[in-house]
Amino acid sequence: MSIVPKETIEVIAQSIGIPNLSPDVALALAPDVEYRLREIIQEAIKCMRHSKRTVLTADDMDSALNLRNIEPIYGFASGDPLKFKRAIGHKDLFYLDDREVDFKEVIDAPLPKAPLDTAVVTHWLAIEGVQPAIPENPPIEAIVAPQDGKKMDHGKDDSLPVDLKLPIKHVLSRELQLYFDKIGELILLRPETALFKEALLSLAKDSGLHPLVPYFSYFIADEVSRNLSNLSILFALMRVLKSLLSNPHIHIEPYLHQMMPSIITCLVAKRVGEQVSDNHWAIRNFAAKLVSSICRRYGHVYHNLQSRLTRTLIHAFLDPSKALTQHYGAIRGLSALGPSVVRLLILPNLETYMQLLDPEMQLDKQKNELKRKEAWRVYGSLLLAAGSCLYDRLRLFPGLLSPPDIQPWKTNKKIALTHLPNNKRKASSTLNSHQPPTKKLAVDPTGANSQFPSTDGPATSSSCGSNPNHHHSHNSSNNNSSSAGNITNTNTNINNATGSGALAQRMAGSAVLRQAWKEDMDAGHLLSSLHSLFGEGVFSFIQPADMHLFI
C-alpha cells in the first residue's frame, strides 16, 4: 500500500520511546507518513523553484517545514551539498557520512577565509545577436557537445525519474592511455634519450591527441610542482609543453590557464635545480620563450592573458625582497613579452632598480661570489631587455636615423640641456658609489668613465663642439670596455666589465629614455642620440646598416 514499510514505522517508534507498537497501528500510520512526506517534499520543491534552483537543498526542506508550522530539522544547513554514500551490499541504500568531529581539532584549526562578497560584473552576451569570443562567454565548440549530453540526460530523466545521476566518465581509448603512460614514463625517467625526442616530435605533429590534453596539462602542473629541484625533468616537461603548443591539431586555449602557472613557476621560482651550480638560467630562458610564443599566439583570443601575466611578472620584478634569480626570471619574461612591455614597465623602474642592483654587483659590497654572479646575470638580462627595446624603436623609425646626421646639434643640445640637472644630480649620486669599485677594477678606464657624465654635461651646454665630444665619449667607452676586458681576465668575466663600463652611461641613458618617450614628437631623434650614450653593449642591437649610418 505505502512505500513506507511498517518496519520503518516500528523503528521510528522505538527510537522515540515506544517499544512495542502494534503492527496494526504501524500499518495504519505508514500511509499517513507517506502522505506527510509527499506534502513536505511538494512544498520544498516550491521553495526550491522560487529560489531559482534546480537542486533541492536542506534549506528548502526547512522552509517547507516552516510553511507547515513544523519545527525544522537542525544540523543540515551547512550549505554544502550533502554527500551520500552507498551502503555496502545494498543496491539502493544510501547514507550520509556523518563523522564525529573533535572539538579540539575544530578550535585549533585556523580560521577559514572569509567568503568573498557578492559582486556584479557585466559583459556582452551578444552584440546584435552575435556572441563575441570573450572569456565570459563559453567557447564556441563547447556549445555543441554539452547539448547532446543534456539531451541524453533529459531522456534518461524521462524514463527513470528517480534514477541518480552518475558522474560522467571520460572514456579514453586504451591506445591513448598507453600513449599517455609511455610519455609520462619517458619524461620522468629518460628525458635525455633519442626516444624522448621522437616522442616530442609525435606530440607536436600527431592528430587525435586532443582527449589527452587535460591529462597532460594536469600531469605537467603536478610534476612541475613536485620536481622543482630536478632540472632535467623540468626541461623535459617544458619541452613537452612546447610540443603540445605547437601541435596544430590541438585546441589548447581552454587549458592554457592550467598550463600558465607551471610555466611561470619555471620562470620565476626562487630556486630551480638541486645545486646552485645547476644551469637554471637555461630553463628560465626557455620558459620565457614559451611565454612569449603563447602570448603571441593566444594573446588576441585571451584578451586578459597578457595583462595577467604582466601583472604577475612585474610584481616579482618590483619586489625587492624577492631573490635575484626571481628578478632575472621576471625580467626575461617581461622582455619576452615584447619591447613595448619593456618600455612601459621596465624602463621607468630601471633607475631605482639599478640602485638596488648596484651594490650586489660590486666586489667589495657583495662578498658572496655566487650572489654577485647572479646580480650580473640580472644586469645582463636588463641590458638585453633595454637593448632590444631600443632596437625595436629604431626599427619603428628607420628614417629617423639620418636626421641626426644632418642636424645633430640641435637635438643633442636639447636633450643635454633638458637633462642637465638630471644628469648632474645623478652624476653626483652615482659617482660616489661607483668610483671605488671601478678603481679597483681598472684605473685607466675608470677615469674616463667617471669623467664622462660630468664632461658631457658642460660640453653640450656650451653650444659648440658637442659632436666631437660625443664621439669621444664613444671611444672612451669602447676603450673602457676593451681595456677593462684585457685587464680583468679573471673570473669576473667580460660581461662584468662591459657592464661596469656601460653602467654609468646606462643610468644616464635610462633617464634620457624616459624623457624621450615623454616627448613623443621627436622620439626618433632622441633615440639616435641616446643610444650613443649607451655604449657598446647597445650596439649589438642595432643593425649593421643602421650602425653605419649612425657612425
Closest CB 265 distance from other proteins, rounded Å: 25
Closest CB 302 distance from other proteins, rounded Å: 14
Establish if 125 lies at the interface with other proteins (CB under 8 A): yes
Establish if 51 lies at the interface with other proteins (CB under 8 A): yes
User: Measured between alpha carbons, how far is 484 from 440 in angstroms, rounded to an integer?
Assistant: 11
Q: Is the CB of 143 or the CB of 282 nearer to other proteins?
A: 143
Closest CB 127 distance from other proteins, rounded Å: 5
What's the burial of 198, exposed, middle or buried (CB within 10 Å: 0-12/13-18/19+)?
A: exposed
Establish if 35 lies at the interface with other proteins (CB under 8 A): yes
Span from 50-58, 187-195, 242-250, 445-453 in contact with other proteins (CB under 8 A): 50-58
Span from 14-22, 56-64, 324-332, 462-470 in contact with other proteins (CB under 8 A): 56-64
Closest CB 5 distance from other proteins, rounded Å: 15
User: Measured between alpha carbons, how far is 56 from 59 in angstroms, rounded to an integer?
Assistant: 8
Establish if 127 lies at the interface with other proteins (CB under 8 A): yes
Span from 131-139, 226-234, 276-284, 438-446 in contact with other proteins (CB under 8 A): 131-139
Closest CB 47 distance from other proteins, rounded Å: 8
Closest CB 164 distance from other proteins, rounded Å: 16
Triad 355, 359, 364: Cα angle to 5°: 160
Contact 400, 524 (CB under 8 A): yes
Q: Is the CB of 159 or the CB of 490 nearer to other proteins?
A: 159
Among positions 131, 411, 435, 483, the unique one binding other proteins when judged by CB under 8 A: 131
Query: Closest by alpha carbon to 361, among 348, 375, 351, 341?
Result: 375
**Which residues are CB-contacts of 55 (< 8 A; sequence separation ≥ 6)?**
48, 81
Handedness of CA 298, 300, 302, 306 (dihedral sign): positive
Closest CB 83 distance from other proteins, rounded Å: 13
Establish if 75 lies at the interface with other proteins (CB under 8 A): no
Establish if 138 lies at the interface with other proteins (CB under 8 A): yes
Q: How many residues bind other proteins (CB under 8 A)?
A: 47
User: Measured between alpha carbons, how far is 490 from 358 in angstroms, rounded to an integer?
Assistant: 20
**Which residues are CB-contacts of 335 (< 8 A; sequence separation ≥ 6)?**
288, 341, 342, 346, 381, 384, 385, 388, 389
Closest CB 263 distance from other proteins, rounded Å: 25
Give the dihedral of Cα atoms 338, 340, 341, 345; nearest 10 deg: 150
Span from 116-124, 283-291, 454-462, 527-535 in contact with other proteins (CB under 8 A): 116-124
E strand or H helix at 411: helix 408-418
Query: Closest by alpha carbon to 476, among 515, 446, 517?
Result: 446
**Which residues are CB-contacts of 30 (< 8 A; sequence separation ≥ 6)?**
1, 2, 4, 5, 6, 8, 9
Find the helix packing angle between 347-361 and 305-318, rounded to 10°: 40
Establish if 52 lies at the interface with other proteins (CB under 8 A): yes
Span from 51-59, 297-305, 497-505, 519-527 in contact with other proteins (CB under 8 A): 51-59
Q: Is the CB of 269 or the CB of 305 nearer to other proteins?
A: 305
Contact 192, 232 (CB under 8 A): yes
Span from 19-27, 130-138, 399-407, 540-548 in contact with other proteins (CB under 8 A): 130-138
Establish if 39 lies at the interface with other proteins (CB under 8 A): yes
Report helix, strand or coil for 344.
Answer: helix
User: Measured between alpha carbons, how far is 27 from 6 in angstroms, rounded to an integer?
Assistant: 5
Among positions 15, 20, 118, 490, the unique one binding other proteins when judged by CB under 8 A: 118
Establish if 31 lies at the interface with other proteins (CB under 8 A): yes
Establish if 258 lies at the interface with other proteins (CB under 8 A): no
Establish if 151 lies at the interface with other proteins (CB under 8 A): yes
Closest CB 297 distance from other proteins, rounded Å: 23
Report helix, strand or coil for 96.
Answer: strand
Dmax of the chain from CA atoms? Answer: 120
Span from 60-68, 207-215, 296-304, 491-499 in contact with other proteins (CB under 8 A): 60-68
Establish if 1 lies at the interface with other proteins (CB under 8 A): yes
Report helix, strand or coil for 86.
Answer: strand
Name the residues that contact other proteins, by CB under 8 A.
1, 31, 35, 38-39, 42, 46-47, 49-55, 57, 59, 63, 66-67, 79, 81, 115-131, 136-138, 143, 150-151, 154, 161
